[in-house]
């Protein structure tokens, strides 16, 4: 698991370096050190840490509380205060910024570690809950609209059938426009059914699946230029899980299509896949229930996704493409999220702008 990145905001250089050593020893990655509020905001935007440890009293016009408020509102990065000040007035000001921790100096290493882990866990679960609520709200609206439209499309399709039959016996009626209308109506029906698949959660056809074979079939189904190679490791032993083979194949295909499109086909490159089994516990994988999981990672060396877009990519029709409607229905990642969640799994996207993106899927394995 990638170490959590932490930005230190402390204007005393010796204290900042000492804190950096302690955090590194605890297994975290320090993304940077800032001495002023304005510098902290700039570095938070550049490095996108998972957490900011913020001293309240800083040199310059902006103190730590003001900087924390901007960082929270602009980047949605949690802040833990580490300060020598515990007076009520400072505490009242700090509370307004909704910090994820407030530790008074001098701090013990264990207290520091506990507060960081609680803050990271709380922020992750809050984001996951928000994502779930957004999709549930969309589901209520979208499934109702999709159901009504499907009924209308079925009626229109019936009238088109009648018109096409009549056109065969009447040379004055052009057959071509009717054919085109039928083709576009078929595309609309596919879109409506996709919405219903995502939001009505139809029953999964669960069976034992050979994961390696399923992923190889997904790879084979993805169109791509000759310059792009999708690499599946060799020698992987047979791995079995219980799930809906057709739905999971489609989910992995959608993830691979996104990886191919991220590379634009302009430069040669390899999309790497890694498959392994992991044991999840509350410390290493806090968003998963404890147990054995299949972990599949898909890594592309494409342009990456800006940090402010990561939390939105599972929403329908959200896209970083210039004109997403020309490349697809805009539901690929929404569908992936829905299918993986309904299998009791989790999907995580990590991206570095200019360096690429890694999509990691966790699916529960049968009891060992």
Task: Work out the mean pLDDT of the chain and round it to a whole number.
Answer: 82
pLDDT in tens, 9-19: 999 989 999 99
What's the first-to-final CA gap in the chain, in angstroms?
Answer: 23
Architecture in CATH for domain 206-364: 2-Layer Sandwich (3.30)
Q: With b meaning 16 or more CB within 10 Å and e meaning fewer, what string describes 217-241?
A: ebbeebebeeebebeeeeeeeebeb
Reported confidence tier of residue 328, pLDDT bands at 50, 70, 90: very low
pLDDT greater at residue 367 or residue 135: 367
Q: Is the pLDDT of residue 238 over 90?
A: no
At the fourth CATH level, the homologous superfamily of domain 5-107 is Response regulator (3.40.50.2300)
- Reported as a pLDDT band with limits 50, 70 and 90, residue 30 is very high
Print the SS3 string covering 137-197: HHHHHHHHHHHHHHHHHHHHHHHHHHHHHHHCCCCCCCHHHHHHHHHHHHHHHHHHHHHHH
In this predicted structure, the answer to whether residue 313 has a pLDDT above a threshold of 50 is: yes
Closest CA to 252 of 357, 344, 345, 361: 361
Is-contact 80 64, C-beta < 8 A?
A: no
Ramachandran class of 59: left when φ > 0, alpha when ψ lies in -120 to 50, beta otherwise: beta
Q: How would you classify the pairing of strands 29-34 and 5-9?
A: parallel
Residue-wise pLDDT tens digits, 243-297: 999 889 989 998 999 888 888 755 678 899 999 989 988 777 777 888 899 999 9
Residues 72-118 have pLDDT tens digits of 888 889 999 988 877 788 788 888 888 888 888 888 888 899 999 88
Residue 173 has pLDDT above 70, yes or no: no
Taking 50 as the threshold, does the pLDDT of residue 329 lie above it? no
pLDDT at 326: 38
């Amino acid at each position: 698991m990638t170490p959590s990145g932490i930005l230190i905001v402390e204007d005393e250089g010796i204290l900042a370096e000492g804190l950096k050593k302690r955090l590194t020893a605890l297994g975290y990655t320090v993304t940077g050190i800032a001495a002023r509020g304005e510098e902290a905001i700039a570095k938070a935007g550049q490095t996108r840490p998972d957490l900011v440890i913020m001293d309240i009293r800083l040199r310059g016009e902006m103190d730590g509380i003001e900087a924390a408020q901007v960082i929270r509102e602009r980047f949605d990065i949690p802040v833990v205060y580490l300060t020598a000040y515990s007076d009520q007035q400072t505490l009242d000001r700090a509370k307004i910024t909704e910090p994820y921790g407030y530790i008074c100096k001098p701090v013990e290493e264990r207290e520091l570690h506990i507060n960081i882990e609680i803050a990271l866990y709380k922020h992750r679960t809050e984001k996951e809950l928000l994502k779930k609520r957004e999709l549930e709200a969309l589901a209520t609206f979208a499934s109702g609209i999709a159901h009504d439209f499907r009924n209308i499309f079925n009626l229109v399709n019936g009238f088109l059938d009648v018109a096409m039959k009549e056109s065969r016996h009447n040379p004055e009626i052009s057959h071509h426009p009717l054919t085109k209308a039928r083709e576009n109506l078929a595309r609309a029906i596919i879109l409506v059914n996709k919405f219903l698949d995502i939001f009505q959660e139809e029953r999964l056809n669960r069976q034992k699946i050979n994961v390696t074979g399923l992923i190889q079939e997904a790879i084979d189904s993805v169109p791509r230029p000759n310059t792009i190679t999708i690499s599946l490791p060799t020698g992987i032993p047979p791995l079995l899980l219980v799930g809906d083979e057709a739905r999971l194949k489609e989910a992995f295909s959608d993830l691979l299509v996104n990886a191919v499109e991220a590379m634009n086909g302009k430069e040669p490159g390899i999309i790497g896949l890694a498959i392994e089994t992991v044991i999840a516990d509350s410390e290493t994988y806090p968003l998963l229930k404890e147990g054995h999981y299949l972990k599949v990672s898909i890594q592309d060396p494409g342009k990456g996704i800006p940090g402010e877009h990561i939390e939105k990519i599972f929403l329908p029709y959200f896209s970083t493409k210039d004109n997403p409607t020309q490349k697809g229905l805009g539901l690929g990642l929404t569908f992936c999220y829905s299918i993986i969640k309904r299998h009791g799994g989790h999907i995580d996207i990590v991206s570095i702008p200019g360096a690429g993106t890694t999509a990691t899927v966790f699916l529960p394995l049968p009891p060992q």
